[in-house]
Amino acid sequence: MGTPAISPEAVNPDPEWTGIRTLGYANRFAVWDSEFRYDGRIRVPMGVKIKEVRYSCTGNGQVDTNADEVKRGRGGINQEFEVIDLTFLDDSDLITFTLRGDLNVDADPRPAYGRKYNIRVDVTLDNGDVRTANPEIEVLASAWQKSDPEMVGRPYVRLPYDNNWGGTLNSQAGFGYVSDNGRIPGDKFIIDLVNLRQGEPGVSSNTSDHVYYQLVHEDGTPSHYTPTPQLQKAEGHKDSGTDRKVTLPAIDLRQLGDKTGYYRFLVWPQSQNPDGSVSSLSWDTAKPEDAFQLGSVYYRYTAPSSIDPGLRAVIKTQQLTATAGQDRWVYPPFVVRNTGQRTIGTVKVVFTAPEGTHFVEERVTFTRWTDETHEVVADGVLSADNRTLTCPAVALNLEPSGPGKDAWVSLYPALQVEGTAHGTVQIGIQLGEPVIATAYDPIVVTPAN
């Protein structure tokens, strides 16, 4: 396969310069818990500050809710943001912030088990520039009946909000928590396990009594406290009460020898079948995308020095066309060029597909500038709905481009366009962990004759 044609204007530069780098956010929660949590970082010209932060309350792409700036570490329950860190570089400033507030995405998604929304975030700078991110959240059904499709009623954990679960200063203070001494008090990480099928006789996935959890640094390495996902007993229930919560004990990251930085608190809910076997509706600890992010910690946080021109990339894309339901697979191309100062070696690559499309192979094929006729294959893992393809180790070995050297790697996952697809669908890529580049390949879908 030759190098796919590229659109020269379709380039996605470093999101820190052009948008917002997402550190973490509340990615999945129940209809009951319609709340927003987001941690991000931007690179701005020297001396430029944040003037305003707004976000979309309903997930309709319109920024309609204003967040007020409050003091770092306050941990309030209103529509607010805090500037966590301001790091001065030689040519720019790095601003790291946390954002919280209400959402209005509480429509019952049944007969699907969940519904996804893009929550647009706009950060307006005092020089007039506007930075935008569109984190995707998944809202899960909070009701179940036997006639619902199989995936409805998967176990989940609640997203603590306001004062409903207790805690100091409030139930949600474990998200965007500032710890300058490394200590995380024992009321910050709250786990409330819900299984809508709990106790139903003769029904698969009808018992939940534990979860797995892990604290993971921004660079992808786990805390010494959780070198692997840890089992935590919890009482599953099917109502909206909060009295069966469990809280983790106090943690001292400094005493553990953990490095400073940003940490995500991740949880994977589990369930069992009537015969005691693990249910297929459990969330897989081997898949980072299966985790619920319930909290985050800024431990003596300063934006890491690795955020420099050393590792950067641009991804060129191409608009494709397809017919809804066609038998032929589509191979959206992502052409990566290294615009940094160091070789991009083996990296994690995540591809995402919207509703109406799905990936068909647990791998990605790619070619290199050194021999575009030679195809290389990197293994991956598909999500349960085949709409996320995670390739944990793709050997790009991509040298920096420069005068007289046009080094590139072209990745093209295999994609099926379903009969329900319509309009323009966007196939996404995230390169690296932490992410150093993202892009979207548009596919214009025409109806079948």
Residue 376 vs residues 107, 347, 408: alpha-carbon distances, Å: 44, 15, 14
What single-letter amino acid sits at 41? R
Structure-token match 């003596």, residue found: 300
Counting residues of the chain whose pLDDT is more than 70, the rounded percentage is 95
Distance of CA 179 to the CA centre of its chain: 23
How does DSSP assign 179-194, residue by residue? Answer: ESSSEE-TTSSEE-EE
Q: What is the mean pLDDT of the chain?
A: 91
Q: pLDDT value at position 14?
A: 62
pLDDT bucket at 403, cuts 50 / 70 / 90 = low
Task: Give the whole-angstrom CA distance, residue 382 versus residue 363.
Answer: 9
Task: Give the whole-angstrom CA distance, residue 250 versus residue 205.
Answer: 32
For residue 207, what is the DSSP state?
Answer: B
pLDDT tens by residue, 357-396: 999 999 999 999 999 999 999 999 999 999 999 999 999 9
Contact assessment for residue 139 and residue 106, using Cβ atoms and an 8 Å cutoff: yes
Is the sign of the CA dihedral 415, 421, 425, 429 positive or negative?
negative
pLDDT bucket at 244, cuts 50 / 70 / 90 = very high
Q: pLDDT value at position 2?
A: 37
Contact assessment for residue 429 and residue 350, using Cβ atoms and an 8 Å cutoff: yes
N-terminal to C-terminal alpha carbon distance within the chain: 29
Task: Give the whole-angstrom CA distance, residue 231 versus residue 251.
Answer: 16
Question: Other C-beta atoms within 10 Å of 130: how many?
Answer: 13
Contact assessment for residue 339 and residue 312, using Cβ atoms and an 8 Å cutoff: yes
pLDDT at 82 over 80: yes
At 187, list the tokens: 């009321």
Q: pLDDT value at position 400?
A: 85
Task: Give the whole-angstrom CA distance, residue 223 versus residue 126.
Answer: 37
Task: Give the whole-angstrom CA distance, residue 21 versus residue 243.
Answer: 36
3-state class (DSSP) for residue 362: coil
What single-letter amino acid sits at 392? P
Segment holding 256, helix H or strand E = helix 253-256
Contact assessment for residue 324 and residue 447, using Cβ atoms and an 8 Å cutoff: yes
Give 305's strand partners: none
Q: Which has the minimum average pLDDT: 48-52, 232-236, 309-313, 323-327?
A: 309-313
At 216, list the tokens: 């993971």
Task: Give the whole-angstrom CA distance, residue 361 versus residue 148.
Answer: 29
- Which comes out higher in pLDDT, residue 142 or 6? 142
Q: Considering only CA atoms, which of 135, 107, 103 is closest in space to residue 119?
A: 135
Q: Is the pTM of this model over 0.75?
A: no
Q: pLDDT value at position 412?
A: 96
3-state class (DSSP) for residue 397: strand
pLDDT at 331 over 60: yes
Contact assessment for residue 192 and residue 235, using Cβ atoms and an 8 Å cutoff: no
Contact assessment for residue 301 and residue 84, using Cβ atoms and an 8 Å cutoff: yes
Average pLDDT in the 225-254 region? 96
Q: pLDDT value at position 435?
A: 78
| Backbone angles phi and psi of 15, in degrees to 5 | -65, -20
Q: pLDDT value at position 310?
A: 61
Q: Considering only CA atoms, which of 211, 311, 304 is closest in space to residue 263?
A: 304
Average pLDDT in the 282-310 region? 84
Q: pLDDT value at position 180?
A: 96
Q: pLDDT value at position 119?
A: 96
For residue 364, what is the DSSP state?
Answer: E
Contact assessment for residue 125 and residue 49, using Cβ atoms and an 8 Å cutoff: yes
Give 226's strand partners: none
Q: pLDDT value at position 111?
A: 95
Task: Give the whole-angstrom CA distance, residue 370 versus residue 410.
Answer: 12
Average pLDDT in the 13-39 region? 90
Segment holding 18, helix H or strand E = helix 15-18
Task: Give the whole-angstrom CA distance, residue 284 versus residue 267.
Answer: 10
pLDDT tens by residue, 154-203: 999 999 999 999 999 999 999 999 999 999 999 999 999 999 999 999 99
Q: pLDDT value at position 139?
A: 97
3-state helix, strand, coil split of the chain in percent (to 5) is: 0, 45, 55
